Structure 1
């Protein structure tokens, strides 16, 4: 597996290459046009949905928006960060909350959206609960591009073939995995076409075992070498050793693997529903979705992994007024209803009715007192720690026996980070 240094070099090279061609793909079409905006994103597969939003936005705001999508996360990140110091600046761009948002806010790059949030909360288009994920040092930045809950997508036909039902307990889930394995069927897809989602099972196992420990890790109040974390890695290793996962060397898109029946289940966010429907699969007929039960059944609430991805603009956006106007429109019910239901996903706007009955039920269940929302690891971990963890978990999937070394290496980076940052914040 390539070292982190080699990956960093590759990312820098990709960013340099992008600058060579980005001059004709800068932010606004004429560096400040009030009619044309470009929305840079790391969700290239969502191009049709962004285009639908562009059409609706043009009708309702007079602003034209064209998406510029990337499918490789490191290349996209390199481009956005390079825009901070060049003239090639996006009008709008997608990012992530948590440590990565804090990082670019600290560099004074992101436009303050506190006024949009105050108005949105007052109008009922945004919630105070969601605001905390967009708050850095008392101010809000960006607006919700999407929200999502992580759970398990499962192949209904495979489940029916082996008389399986969505599990109510962790023991049920492991029994289903063993049943599938005994019939030569791979139970779980690794969800790793890249290392981007290599954290998924770590997050799920730890949050479902000790959610307090999971949250303490993200704020520097616990160590990755804590016995509780080690135990979770050992459990993950045991599942890999049992043959419950697809080959980590298979870089096919999880949705393609799922459609081909290579794996009966795939852990992912509700937004993955978009990938399924794009491939002609039907919710309720071809596949279903369930919230994953806790590993430890005695926990008072089910740990439900939650994420919300931001849509941002820069302090030095080509046309700050136009970008701000578009962000204000984006959170309105008319925009959010189109955006959520076109993709078959949930919305951060409480006024929006989710058309898909299963997703609507998931949204209601997520809001119940039976669940404890925990922030997705990708957003919860500080940026340097996340980078180390993604690389480490990716290596672990290929060599499960290295789990202790992986945790030690992540903790070294965490120690360095928390030397200059206040733990608990």
Structure 2
């Protein structure tokens, strides 16, 4: 989810945790409470609710420790591999970041959980590739998310605007808003600077998007350059808010600073936390392809893992919790409490727009495209996030940005 760069947990927290101890070398004992470290500090309430439910259901509760700074969180988890301060459970990312820690033999094998959950209809085979490394599965889906556009419904109603069916419709909507001194879109120069790049490229040439993420295409290729030029046109047209604005995107949408925010379905949680009502205060639509000739609308997709360590203090308890997490009982509470979609196909949600997207995505209506953050190898991602952050503040730098990212890509793929 969107994360501020505010440091909330520092070295002191690590020291305190070390004093409390959760070491792999400590005497083994059956746990009744598991530590859950996560990079979703704003979701502490929901994790606590899940802990209460699991305590009643399987005799295991969870104690969440949430970070709001992604880089600091990743550093803490990686440090835990080398210390006695080990989480029982932790959240992570799929793609290159998961593969990286699996290769270090840090993550517990969950293949048996997956086989049982798929057989029971609690997990979809469509999710399997995102959690499979070397023929085995690791972690389970903490959440799934489909990306689209959240919009301020009151602003749309005020100017008699409807959810666009084509890219041209979307641009016309942005023009209408501009004429009425309303910024159409939110974007940012920190962490989520990649959002519009992935959307424009996936909606123009999803095959090129896939080749780029696997090193079979270059960031300097004409198709990628053209996408950056299109992005620059949108910025130059004045459709976006200031990318340096530190206002939480949910508040941006609530307050009307921008009429639309491109985000994953988990953003719905941020809206409900502000006592806003879907269908009344805000709503959601699927973003049309830039290229209308594509056979399916490209939809950005992500799934966030919930993992346990191979050297956890009580591996059996961790496995028991992950198994429970995939069940309809657990997932219905998880999805309902946050107003979000679920990885369990049996779970239905109240939000009509998100419910329809979930159903359509599961039926194959959309071409699901792995989110850039997970699809791109970590060393390339680091360069890309820096590059896109520069671009949104200096749009004229797009060629230099692409060349710099490609240098990082060349270095990475030459070693693979």
Relative to structure 2, which stretch is displaced further, 59-68 or 350-359?
Answer: 350-359
C-alpha distance in structure 2 between counterparts of 1:406 and 1:25, whole Å: 46
TM-score (norm 2): 0.95
Aligned to 2:222: 227
1:296 to 286, 291, 295: 291
The alignment of Structure 1 onto Structure 2 pairs a total of residues equal to 409
Aligned to 1:391: 386
Does the 8 Å contact 1:28/1:91 carry over to 2? Answer: no
Does the 8 Å contact 2:18/2:85 carry over to 1? Answer: yes
Kindly state the Cα deviation for residue 17 of structure 1 after the two structures are TM-superposed.
5.5
Kindly state the Cα deviation for residue 396 of structure 1 after the two structures are TM-superposed.
1.0
Secondary structure of the corresponding residue to residue 191 of structure 2: helix
Kindly state the Cα deviation for residue 357 of structure 1 after the two structures are TM-superposed.
2.1
Kindly state the Cα deviation for residue 21 of structure 1 after the two structures are TM-superposed.
3.6
- Superposed CA deviations along residues 331-390 of structure 1, whole A, max 9, x for unmatched, are 011000000111011111111122222221111122344311111111100111111111
C-alpha distance in structure 2 between counterparts of 1:137 and 1:187, whole Å: 44
Aligned to 2:43: 46
Distance 1:79 1:25, change over 3 A: farther
- Superposed CA deviations along residues 56-112 of structure 1, whole A, max 9, x for unmatched, are 000001012111101111111110011011111000000010011011111111111
Relative to structure 2, which stretch is displaced further, 203-212 or 410-419?
Answer: 410-419
RMSD: 1.9
Aligned to 1:211: 206
Aligned to 2:130: 133
Which aligned pairs between 1:82-101 and structure 2 lie closer than 5 A? 82-101=79-98
Does the 8 Å contact 1:206/1:232 carry over to 2? Answer: yes
Secondary structure of the corresponding residue to residue 261 of structure 2: strand
Provide structure 1 residue ranges, at least 5 long, that are not aligned to the other structure.
1-6
C-alpha distance in structure 1 between counterparts of 2:67 and 2:406, whole Å: 31
Does the 8 Å contact 2:143/2:342 carry over to 1? Answer: yes
Relative to structure 2, which stretch is displaced further, 31-40 or 396-405?
Answer: 31-40
Provide structure 2 residue ranges, at least 5 long, that are not aligned to the other structure.
none
C-alpha distance in structure 2 between counterparts of 1:410 and 1:119, whole Å: 41
Does the 8 Å contact 2:202/2:298 carry over to 1? Answer: yes
Does the 8 Å contact 1:15/1:82 carry over to 2? Answer: no
2:277 to 282, 294, 300: 282
User: Is 1:260 the equivalent of 2:292?
Assistant: no
Does the 8 Å contact 1:27/1:37 carry over to 2? Answer: no
- Superposed CA deviations along residues 39-58 of structure 1, whole A, max 9, x for unmatched, are 11000111111111000000
Kindly state the Cα deviation for residue 15 of structure 1 after the two structures are TM-superposed.
6.8
Aligned to 1:248: 243
2:179 to 179, 182, 186: 182
Kindly state the Cα deviation for residue 195 of structure 1 after the two structures are TM-superposed.
2.2
Secondary structure of the corresponding residue to residue 249 of structure 1: coil
Aligned to 2:168: 171
Distance 1:283 1:25, change over 3 A: farther
Does the 8 Å contact 1:95/1:311 carry over to 2? Answer: yes
Does the 8 Å contact 2:23/2:84 carry over to 1? Answer: no
Kindly state the Cα deviation for residue 25 of structure 1 after the two structures are TM-superposed.
5.8
C-alpha distance in structure 2 between counterparts of 1:302 and 1:28, whole Å: 48
C-alpha distance in structure 1 between counterparts of 2:129 and 2:365, whole Å: 21
Distance 1:407 1:319, change over 3 A: same
Kindly state the Cα deviation for residue 33 of structure 1 after the two structures are TM-superposed.
4.6
TM-score (norm 1): 0.93
Kindly state the Cα deviation for residue 129 of structure 1 after the two structures are TM-superposed.
1.2
2:102 to 101, 105, 110: 105
Kindly state the Cα deviation for residue 391 of structure 1 after the two structures are TM-superposed.
1.2
Kindly state the Cα deviation for residue 395 of structure 1 after the two structures are TM-superposed.
1.2
2:71 to 62, 69, 74: 74
Aligned to 2:405: 410
Secondary structure of the corresponding residue to residue 65 of structure 1: strand
1:371 to 366, 370, 374: 366
